Amino acid sequence: MSTNTSNNTQNVFQEIISHCKEYGFIFPSSEIYDGLSAIYDYGPYGIELKNNIQQYWWKAMVQLHENIVGIDAAIFMHPNTWKASGHVDAFNDPLIDNKDSKKRYRADVLIEEAIQKQEAKIDKEVDKAQKKFGDTFDKEMFLKTNPNVLRVKEKIGGIEARFKKALEENNLEELKQIIVDLEIVCPISGTRNWTEVRQFNLMFSTEVGSVAEDASVIYLRPETAQGIFVNFLNVLNTSRQRIPFGIAQVGKAFRNEIVARQFIFRTREFEQMEMQFFVRPGEEMKWYEYWKEARMKWHRSLGFGANKLKWHDHLKPAHYANAAVDIEFEFPFGFKEMEGIHSRTDYDLTQHQNLSGKKLQYFDHELDKSYVPYVIETSVGLNRTFLALICNGYKIEKLEDGSERTVLALPPFLAPVQIAIFPLIKKDGLPEKSREIMDVLKWDFKCFYEEKDTIGKRYRRMDALGTPYCITIDHQTLQDNTVTIRERDSMKQERISIEKLKEVVNEKIDWRAGLR
Ligand code: GAP
């Protein structure tokens, strides 16, 4: 058995998108009206996978931490929320248009991609040298001494320094100049005919109120975090928590993204899983490091190989943060942010305290004083995690008999269907026996019953959906109460007694293993 490793990653990504539609994971929104750009709906298997990811995050963050509690705040919030948080003034992206293709880009993303291209040159040099020198290759030494690598590193350093300064000073002319100097071309028109860089606020607004004159503008929340900050006192007063403690939330967020492509990677409506951890001022770096490790462990527990995940330190942390790092996953279109971890200082609580006039402080009995707590935030995209799992699990395998199968190797505890139940044929009492088994197992597992088609076809369909276990009921079952259980990845089949099924599957789909 060999894995098809097509180099054409763009084609693979298109295949993944088609797979998601064909197998009922994701559909374009309002498709009968030709869809709506950068908005998607989740189908019967998509919603199961999305719910499972969300629940797994909730278990890891809330159930396993005595000092983290959850909330579910409304999407609409008082408009002052967004004044205080800085989103009205500063939640902008720098835009640039190509005059020939009329396509719009984020200026910062164009520059980041140019930096990534330079970094890829270093990786290429390393690969070349590794092949040449084999086991004797000293990567660290090579990176420190190879003249080609040093030249590229110097170039990257120069671009990054200019880029960081331009972002810090909000210098839009300089951003444009960097794009010009790096000779960045529009991927559509292939030209360098750029407009000036402009700022664009990403919040969607709408109106509340029954008549136009009375209506006032409110925003659809661009992050779930603010629902946590404005509820800080409510939670503190009702949950018996003491610092350090966290508040977690999962919910929709909305951003009028300029560059909304790459399927569900960047959409205008999406879901975040966020946790704000309130700590003593001065202790924030200790907790920042703690949450960095804890969150990386969570991502690894999803079955992503070590080389699929990496850290990306922010050159310019957002307006509210004094330290920030992303966990990036290698999607088919490159390493991209999946989660952001921010040390948000006391920025948000102080801002809300100032604008609302309510004291958002904590009395620390040990220190015998009140203060505005500092905050470490972990914020991961639910949809991006979904996409990473699909990209990581999707493969086309060539089998020994020359045929191919499509497999979605999802972690068993997240799979939309955990057990498929198949009577070998549609008669002789096998469907009835299968239903009996289904009626027992469905209380503990997400099961799927199927009696149509050959057993081989039924297995293939379940492989493509990511179902980790298929149970087949045959004539022997009626005699000795045993079934065959087939494992998705190895395709191995084993005969076990019906009484043992629950115990065996439970052990195989245990969600706890990766978090211990
Ligand atoms: N409260 C902090 C915050 O919102 P962020 O880095 O802007 O930080 C956090 O967003 C996470 O939300 C990202 O790492 C990403 O996974 C997800 N996310 C952000 N914008 C998104 C979009 N337009 N579509 C899908 N996911 C998005």
Chain segment 445-468, per-residue pLDDT in tens: 999 999 999 999 999 999 999 999
Quick check: 317 pLDDT over 80?
A: no
Report in angstroms the alpha-carbon separations of 8 from 3, 306, 446.
14, 22, 35
Residue nearest atom 20 of ligand 1, based on CA coordinates: 266
Structure tokens at 352: 């809300």
The residue to mutate among 109, 202, 272, having the most atoms of ligand 1 within 8 angstroms of its beta carbon, is 272
Quick check: 5 pLDDT over 50?
A: no
Residue 323 identity = A
Nearest to 196 by CA among 287, 107, 323, 271: 107
* pLDDT tens per residue, range 92-133: 889 999 999 999 999 999 999 999 899 999 989 999 999 999
| pLDDT, position 315 | 73
Asked whether the bond before 423 is cis by omega within 30 degrees of 0, the reply is no
The most confident of 1-5, 124-128, 196-200, 370-374, by mean pLDDT: 370-374
Residue nearest atom 9 of ligand 1, based on CA coordinates: 379
| pLDDT, position 53 | 98
The residue to mutate among 202, 270, 291, having the most atoms of ligand 1 within 8 angstroms of its beta carbon, is 270
Give 235's contacts (C-beta < 8 A, 6+ positions apart): 69, 71, 241, 247
Quick check: 32 pLDDT over 80?
A: yes
The closest-lying atom of ligand 1 relative to the alpha carbon of residue 326 is 14
Nearest to 260 by CA among 94, 46, 113, 104: 104
* Helix, coil or strand: residue 182: coil
Q: Is residue 85 within a helix (H) or strand (E), and if so which, with residue range? A: helix 80-85
Q: Mean pLDDT over all residues of the chain?
A: 93
Quick check: 6 pLDDT over 60?
A: no
From the CA of 268, how far away is ligand 1's center (Å)? 11
Quick check: 16 pLDDT over 80?
A: yes
The closest-lying atom of ligand 1 relative to the alpha carbon of residue 272 is 12
Residue burial 382-414, b: 16+ Cβ < 10 Å; e: rest:
bbbbbbbbbbbbbebbeeeeeeebbbbbbbbbb
Q: How far apart (Å, rounded) are the C-alpha atoms in residues 460 and 419?
A: 14
From the CA of 338, how far away is ligand 1's center (Å)? 8
* pLDDT tens per residue, range 269-304: 999 999 999 999 999 999 999 999 999 999 999 999
pLDDT band with cut points at 50, 70 and 90 for residue 214: low
Please state the φ and ψ torsions of residue 76, each to the nearest 5 degrees.
Answer: -80, 135
* pLDDT tens per residue, range 260-269: 779 999 999 9
Structure tokens at 405: 């199968």
Structure tokens at 206: 């709408």
From the CA of 74, how far away is ligand 1's center (Å)? 18
Tell me which residues have their CB closer than 6 angstroms to ligand 1. 223, 225, 255, 257, 266-267, 270, 272, 274, 337-340, 377, 379-381, 383-384
The residue to mutate among 93, 109, 223, having the most atoms of ligand 1 within 8 angstroms of its beta carbon, is 223
Helix axes 9-22, 382-393, angle to 10 degrees: 110
Mean of pLDDT values over 188-215: 87
CB 296 within 8 A of CB 309: yes
Mean of pLDDT values over 354-382: 97
Residue nearest atom 15 of ligand 1, based on CA coordinates: 381
The residue to mutate among 384, 385, 386, having the most atoms of ligand 1 within 8 angstroms of its beta carbon, is 384
Mean of pLDDT values over 482-493: 96
Give 238's contacts (C-beta < 8 A, 6+ positions apart): none
From the CA of 380, how far away is ligand 1's center (Å)? 7
| pLDDT, position 4 | 42
From the CA of 354, how far away is ligand 1's center (Å)? 26
Quick check: 215 pLDDT over 80?
A: no
Please provide the distance, in angstroms rounded to a whole number, between the alpha carbons at the two ends of the chain: 32
CA-only gyration radius of the chain, Å = 26
pLDDT band with cut points at 50, 70 and 90 for residue 213: low
Q: What percent of the chain has pLDDT over 70?
A: 97
From the CA of 381, how far away is ligand 1's center (Å)? 6
Q: Of the ranges 121-125, 355-359, 408-412, which one carries the lowest mean pLDDT score?
A: 121-125
Mean of pLDDT values over 148-161: 94
Nearest to 91 by CA among 204, 210, 230: 204
pLDDT band with cut points at 50, 70 and 90 for residue 416: very high
| pLDDT, position 2 | 38
From the CA of 316, how far away is ligand 1's center (Å)? 16
From the CA of 213, how far away is ligand 1's center (Å)? 35
The closest-lying atom of ligand 1 relative to the alpha carbon of residue 274 is 1
* pLDDT tens per residue, range 43-72: 999 999 999 999 999 999 999 999 999 999
